[in-house]
Structures are given as C-alpha cells and as structure tokens.
C-alpha cells in the first residue's frame, strides 16, 4: 500500500504523520515550533522527526511516495518557499522544500495549510462527494481552501482563498494588515478572545466568550451577533463568487457548534444571490485535529481529486 508523509507546520507546533492511501494516519509525532532557534535549525528538527517516524513505522525511505508540507501563508508553493507568515515571524523567504529534499531521497511538495485541509476534506471528510466546495478555517486566523470544478484553486503562487482579509465591516477598525474591517480582525478566535476581554474588562478565552453568549450575557450579545453576521457575509461572498455547493467550516471556533452554524445558515438562506446559492450547505469539518497532516499527505495521493 502507498504511504506518504504529511507535515503540518503551525505557529506553536508541528505535526508529522505517515498516512496510507485510505487516509489513515499510521504514525504521528508532534513537536513544538521553536521560534527561538533559526528556521534552518527548526527544519532540521523536523527532518530528524520524519526519519524517526519512518523507522518507528517499520518502513524505509523507498516505501514513502512523497513528503507533503502544509504551512501558513503567504508562501510560494510553486517554488517551495515560505515567504513571511505572521505566526512564524522569524521565517522570511525560507526555501523549505529544498531544505527537506536535501535530507531525503523522497520528493517534497509545499502547500498553503488551508488548501491542504481542503484536500483532506475532499479525500476523507465532508467534501468527498463535492466537486465544488470551500473549506473555511476559523481559528487563530481565518483562511480558506477552494475546490472549484474538481480542482484546488491555487492562484499565482498558492495563496488563493485568503478570505480572512476580505473587508466585511470597515466601521470595526483597523486590521493588522492595514485595511479596515477585515473578517479575521472581527471574527477569528483571536478576535473573539480580544474583543470579549475588552467588553468584560477581564482576560477571557474564545470558549469563555462563547459561554457568556450562551448564557445570554447582555454585554456580549451585540458583539457576538456581529461575529455571526460577518461570517454570514463572508459565506455569501464566497457563494456568490464561486457558485459552490457546500462550505465546510473547521478550526477551533467551529467546535462551538450550532451556536455558530445556525446564524450563518440563516444569513446564507436569506442573502445568497441566486435561489440555489441560498440552499448551500454549511457544515462542520469532519476531520478535526489531523486535517493538516492528512491534507499535506494528500498532496501525494492521486486518488484525492
Ligand atoms: Zn486584514
């Protein structure tokens, strides 16, 4: 059976797994992302861990079809470069594909992490039956991977689908990117914790802010309604632009369940432009934790798309 390796690089941890051709993670290892060492040294640690899990699985390098890396953007997937991701602040113009390839006799591919997660949903998750669907992650940030006409949409360098920085409400104030009213600035997990803390005058987590909303806390309700509203606006924008069949929402914030999904669905049912668009399914991710690893490994599986 075919095996490939998925590497999911995040701001706090790196998950590395061996995935077989049915999408099963056979061996997995998680190491912290150490931003106090150079990117080259951190990637060397990842390479050591890849070698370890190949050995632990009782495999050899020739048993592995390829290594897929999912990483935060902006990146240049065509040239295998990580460019300047905000949550890896010391990583500037890093030729990660080459630095991994140099250590192995296995080919390596790089993909934006949201795109990789979309591939995972296509392969074994909520998008298996869809040739047109969009995966949107609402987590530390907000991003998306777009499957259109049965293909993953890349754009010029692999950064297509950066829905976190579409403007949905300029009155909300200035995003870290400089624009006013970006989706991510209002509705990401980071934003919910920040704004909820500001409103309540104490340090709160995203989950605590959701709890206050569920308890009908009058100070939190107007802000959370704004969060649901702008997520609805973003979904309608995606539906109107891509004529998609389904939007799959993943990331930590999606764990809040129907509290989040119901208002988004009702906005889409009211405001998508065409009658079919109003019926677009809005569903939770079916992969949860391992989607980054599975999606990165999917880059080497020809049965995915
Ligand atoms: Zn922005």
CA of 230 to the centre of ligand 1 (A): 14
226-239: pLDDT as tens digits: 999 999 999 999 99
CA of 19 to the centre of ligand 1 (A): 34
Burial-class residue 181 by CB neighbours within 10 Å (0-12, 13-18, 19+). Answer: middle
pLDDT at 17 over 90: yes
CA of 184 to the centre of ligand 1 (A): 7
CB atoms within 10 A of CB 62: 8
CA of 4 to the centre of ligand 1 (A): 35
126: which residues sit within 8 A by CB, 6+ positions away?
A: 133, 246, 248, 283, 284, 285, 286
- Alpha-helical (H) ranges within the chain are 39-56, 96-101, 113-124, 183-187, 189-200, 206-214, 221-242, 258-271, 291-298
CA of 53 to the centre of ligand 1 (A): 38
199-254: pLDDT as tens digits: 999 999 999 999 999 999 999 999 999 999 999 999 999 999 999 999 999 998 99
CA of 36 to the centre of ligand 1 (A): 27
4 near 288, Cβ under 8 Å?
Answer: no
Tokens found for residue 272: 């998508």
18 falls in which pLDDT band (50, 70, 90)? very high
CA of 181 to the centre of ligand 1 (A): 7
CA of 55 to the centre of ligand 1 (A): 43
Cα(282)–Cα(127) distance, integer angstroms: 11
Model confidence pTM above 0.85:
yes
CA of 167 to the centre of ligand 1 (A): 7
């Amino acid at each position: 059976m075919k095996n490939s390796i998925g590497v999911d690089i995040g701001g706090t941890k790196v998950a590395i797994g061996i995935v077989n051709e049915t999408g099963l993670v056979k061996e997995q290892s998680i190491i912290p992302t150490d931003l106090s060492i150079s990117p080259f040294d951190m990637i060397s640690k990842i390479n050591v861990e890849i070698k370890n899990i190949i050995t632990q699985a009782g495999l050899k390098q020739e048993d592995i079809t390829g290594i897929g890396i999912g990483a935060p953007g902006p990146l240049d997937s065509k040239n295998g470069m990580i460019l300047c991701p905000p949550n890896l602040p010391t990583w500037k113009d890093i030729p990660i594909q080459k630095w991994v390839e140099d250590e192995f006799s296995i080919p390596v591919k790089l993909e934006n992490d949201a795109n990789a997660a979309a591939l995972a949903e296509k392969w074994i998750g909520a998008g298996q039956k869809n040739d047109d669907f969009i995966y949107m992650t609402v987590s530390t940030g907000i991003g998306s991977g777009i499957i259109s006409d049965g293909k993953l949409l890349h754009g010029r360098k692999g950064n297509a689908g950066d829905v976190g920085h579409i403007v949905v409400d300029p009155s909300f104030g200035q995003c870290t990117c400089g624009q006013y009213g970006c989706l991510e600035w209002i509705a990401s997990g980071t934003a919910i914790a920040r704004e909820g803390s500001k409103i309540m005058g104490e340090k709160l987590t995203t989950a605590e802010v959701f709890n206050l909303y569920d308890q009908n806390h009058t100070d939190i309700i107007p802000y959370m309604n704004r969060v649901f509203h702008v997520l609805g606006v973003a979904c309608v924008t995606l539906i109107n632009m891509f004529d998609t069949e389904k939007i799959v929402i993943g990331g930590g914030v999606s764990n809040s369940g129907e509290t989040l999904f119901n208002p988004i669905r009702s906005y889409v049912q009211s405001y998508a432009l065409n009658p079919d668009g109003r019926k677009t399914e809005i569903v939770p991710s079916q992969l949860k934790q391992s989607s980054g690893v599975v999606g990165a490994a999917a880059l080497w599986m020809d049965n995915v798309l």
